[in-house]
Amino acid sequence: MKNLLLIGCCGVGKTWVAKELLKAKNQPKKLGLFCFHESESMIVVGKYTGKTFDGSDSLSMAVMKDLPKFLRYCERVGKTVFFEGDRFTNSNFLRIAKPIVLKIKGDGKEGREERKSSQTERHLKSIKTRVGNIKADVAFDSSGDCLRYIVENC
């Protein structure tokens, strides 16, 4: 089992990568506060319902309390687990899940403009700082490059 964490500034394409991974046949499930989609080979964490802020952004802020139980389940089923976004961009998650950290480079401005994001400059700066403080194992110039890497290696 591998835990993958995809990080990057708001708008770089993290949720797009997750949605592309979800094109494989999958089953929506819930365990505690964790909502996820499970396919034959992968678990993608988050709610994906077509909203502007899909994925991990739609999970409860308290999701971390159920992380140990969720990781035990993932270990039991032996699948690669894909996490993305702000809910998991913290030292507590990194310490417990020990993920391979994937980072999409860039400021995300184009993606935010495309989805007409109203995120405040303060919020964007906070995420940028948090992402900047995490060492990536692999970095990508685009979300497409990241998706290809995951498909080919996981």
**Confidence (pLDDT) at 52:** 67
Q: Which long-range contacts (CB under 8 A, 24 or more apart) does 75-79 make?
A: 75/1, 77/38, 77/43, 78/1, 79/1, 79/38, 79/39, 79/41, 79/42, 79/43
**Confidence (pLDDT) at 43:** 97
Residue 153, helix vs strand vs coil: helix
Residues 6+ apart with CB under 8 A from 127: 9, 10, 86, 89
H or E element, residue 117? none
Domain extent, residue 116, equals: 3-153
The pTM for the full model equals: 0.89
Per the structure, how many domains does the chain have?
Answer: 1
What CATH number does residue 10 fall under? 3.40.50
pLDDT tens per residue across all 154 residues of the chain: 799 999 998 889 998 999 999 998 899 999 999 999 999 999 999 998 877 677 888 899 999 999 999 999 999 999 999 999 888 999 999 999 999 999 999 887 787 777 777 777 887 788 888 888 899 999 999 999 999 999 999 8
Residue 134, helix vs strand vs coil: coil
Burial of 84 (0-12, 13-18, 19+ CB in 10 A): buried
